[in-house]
Structure 1
Amino acid sequence: MKMAFQGVRGANSEVGIRQYYGPEAEALGFDFSEQVFEAVLSGQAQYGFVPVENSIAGNVAVHLDLLLRHPVSIIAEGYVPIQHCLLTLPGVRPSELKRVYFHPVALAQCRPFIRQADLVAVPDFDTAGAARALAQRQSREEAAIAPALCADYYGLQILRDQIQQARRNITRFVTFVRAEHIPEGLQREKTSLAFQTRHRPGALVACLELFSRYGLNLTRLESRPVPENPFKYTFFVDFIGSLQDEAVQHCLMAMGYHTYLIKILGAYPVDPQDSTRSD
């Protein structure tokens, strides 16, 4: 089973793949998110595994855009605890450090630690990539903020673990396949969709009221600008419900009056760690 993700070995996405799919999953890393989707569409990988939102940093806009643009379907979600570690070369002491490399999202999550450590902060393209580059440079004055898995891969030491500000730092990932490769018998408890409203007053409010009218619990609402249509927006929603439910069918039919685009991004089981689900 080949699973594509964005990043290099040791990235949080690979941590998530290990957590949910075990060692039998072959994790294929790519430099750019677009390449992850291309790998799935071309058959190079059967599955894609990408983050869509973080409990601190918010949504991962590029992946929302790509899920909308490409003929793929979400078949699963997963919640991965993000634990940032300060990695150095073996034997390095804190007093030797002058610079720390990190992904910008990691900065938002570890800012108090970086400030207290009094290190020069240097942004990097990728968390695991920063760890790999540190191992290649062999500099005792540098550290990287990255997952603990990177220490194993690149021969680094964990000088400090769990340096993130919030202990409950969680990223939600989704697994997707080509639209025509949805597994048979997939349990569909939760639905993700994107829609664009017609340009008239109250269209968005009318759509949201429909979810309430038909008793559908929204667990997420995001908006993204439409690049080819300035100041127009695509709205992304998740809700508890299956496309086979009569209430969902009636809701989507009624939404057609207020929208000119609706795309089902996927229907899939609710992960037990989803804290937004009603009891």
Structure 2
Amino acid sequence: MAASSIARSPVNPIVRHVICRASPSDHLSKTSLTIHGHYPKRCRHVPLLASLHGDTTRNNDRNAQALELQRVLDDFPYDVIPNDPTMLPTPLSSTQLSNSVSDGSRVRVAYQGVPGAYSESAAEKAYPNCEAVPCEQFDTAFEAVEKWLVDRAVLPIENSLGGSIHRNYDLLLRHRLHIVGEVKFAVRHCLLANHGVEVEDLKRVLSHPQALSQCEDTLSRLGLVKEAVDDTAGAAKHIASYKLKDAGAVASTTAAMIYGLNILAQDIQDDSDNVTRFLMLAREPIIPGIDRPFKTSIVFSLEEGPGVLFKALAVFALRQINLTKIESRPLRKQLLGASDDSNNGYPKYFDYLFYVDFEASMADEKAQNALRHLKEFATYLRVLGSYPVDTSMI
């Protein structure tokens, strides 16, 4: 594993070397980066500047990989950005994937957003006492895991009110990460504003599109103009930073505390049962078992034709396997405008991918037989992960 090029900041490097260490959270042996150097003890995040360009490669022999990484990165001149301990960590960006100093005893988990985001709370529920690493975009969180900068990523996949997060379905296909778990998190939205601002002073409200849609009735009743931003906590941070008097944010109570905002109203979501399901992603799959409830996620494509999807889903029904989710997404770069013989003269516009979750472990013979059956007529089939079901009380 090697970095092809590094963009460095003109500050004094104080980190001396990088060593490879197996993450204590993993059952499988793998390599993670731990930074050592002479720096004072600070808050849990100390951002570093280090841009990695190009894809990293992985050797089949993990011991050889660790030795090679040690050789290449020994005395590597990473630079540390001086940071006020009271400041919050800067989210990782796709063009500048920053590393954070870790003491090696906690799992490092990437999430999308800024501190105070619901995703951060979900990451801490999935991995208690983890070192949560904020990322600007969903893509960045995937890349951070692939580049060994973090151990895991926890990302939303669906909400009980807003539906599926389509971007993450597409990214699951684009990247080679594995689903190793799920966590369900109850989302309770609040209307936040700067101190001294009342509800009647507000003209607009900022938040993530999903959060705005989940509070549609309340926000419409208040007559507020809805403005979409990247994440809920980011909206809270924005109105606090610019001391806006005419704008509020839909975010969590944690975000209100972090950014010093006043809570004008609590539980403003349209339905009290507002739950978001998050996926836990890793570089390696876990070994599925049959000792507890398991779920398996797959993605497949089919040739067009009458009853083909029915036949695909029948492989599960014939074996009494319950489906919990099915999502269809267009297969990109497959737009066709001309008709062909297989469509009986009708224009063929899209090829589709089908994402399916079913209640069975890949250690179960009936699940293996179902996928063997499906593979007989699927044009593409990939297992995204087989992992324990989150049965905890939300």
Q: Please give the range of the TM-score, normalised by the shorter of the 2 chains.
A: over 0.9
Say which of 178, 182, 191 aligns to 1:73. 178
What do residues 203-234 of structure 1 show as CA deviations (whole Å, max 9, x unaligned)?
Answer: 21111111000111111111000011121110
| Residue 10 of structure 1 pairs with residue 116 of structure 2 | yes
User: Unaligned stretches of 5+ in structure 1?
Assistant: none
Q: Tell me which residue corresponds to 2:285.
A: 182
C-alpha separation in 2, matches of 1:15 and 1:115? 28
SS in 2 for 1:255: helix
Alignment counterpart, residue 192 of structure 1, candidates 297, 321, 339: 297
Question: Which structure's relative contact order is higher, taking Cα pairs within 8 Å and 6+ residues apart?
Answer: 1
What is the one-letter code of the residue matched to 1:40? Answer: V
**Which of 143, 152, 166 is the aligned partner of 1:61?**
166
Distance 1:244 1:96 in 2: 58
More helix by share: 1
Determine helix, strand or coil for the equivalent of 2:156.
strand
With the length of structure 2 as denominator, give the TM-score of the two structures. 0.66
Aligned counterpart, 1:226: 331
Task: Indicate if the aligned counterparts of 1:188 and 1:267 stay in contact, CA closer than 8 A.
Answer: no
Mapped partners of 1:247, 1:165: distance in 2 = 40
Q: Which residues of 2 match residues 133-212 of structure 1 at below 5 A? A: 133-178=238-283, 181-183=284-286, 189-212=294-317
TM-score scaled by length of structure 1? 0.92
What RMSD, in angstroms, separates the aligned Cα atoms of the two structures?
1.8
CA distance in 2, matches of 1:250, 1:141: 59
Q: Which runs of 4+ in 1 moved over 6 A?
A: 185-188
How many correspondences in the alignment?
Answer: 272
- Residue 270 of structure 2 aligns to a residue whose secondary structure is coil
Unaligned ranges ≥5, structure 2: 1-106, 336-349
| Superposition deviation, residue 270 in structure 1 | 1.0
Amino acid at match of 2:294: E
Question: Quick check: which has more Rg, 1 or 2?
Answer: 2
Out of 84, 93, 115, the position equivalent to 2:189 is 84
Using the TM superposition, give the Cα deviation of residue 18 of structure 1 relative to its aligned residue in structure 2, in angstroms. 2.3
The 3-state SS of whatever aligns with 1:100 is: strand
Specify whether residues 117 and 219 from structure 1 end up closer, same or farther in structure 2 by C-alpha distance, changes over 3 A only. Answer: same
SS in 1 for 2:258: helix
Distance 1:38 1:82 in 2: 26
Distance 2:202 2:263 in 1: 14
Matches within 5 A, 1:62-141: 62-141=167-246
- Measured in 2, the distance between the counterparts of 1:47 and 1:268 equals 14
Q: Secondary structure at the match of 1:139?
A: coil
Q: CA deviation at 1:273?
A: 4.7
The aligned amino acid for 2:118 is N
DSSP-derived class of the 2:215 partner: helix
Matched AA of 1:3:
V
Q: Percent identity?
A: 37
CA contact (8 A) 1:89 1:140 kept: yes
Q: Does 1:268 align with 2:387?
A: yes
Higher strand share: 1
Alignment of 1:237-276 (within 5 A): 237-273=356-392
Counterpart of 1:271 in 2: which secondary structure?
coil
Which shows bigger deviation, 260-269 or 89-98? 89-98
User: Cα offset for 1:200?
Assistant: 3.3
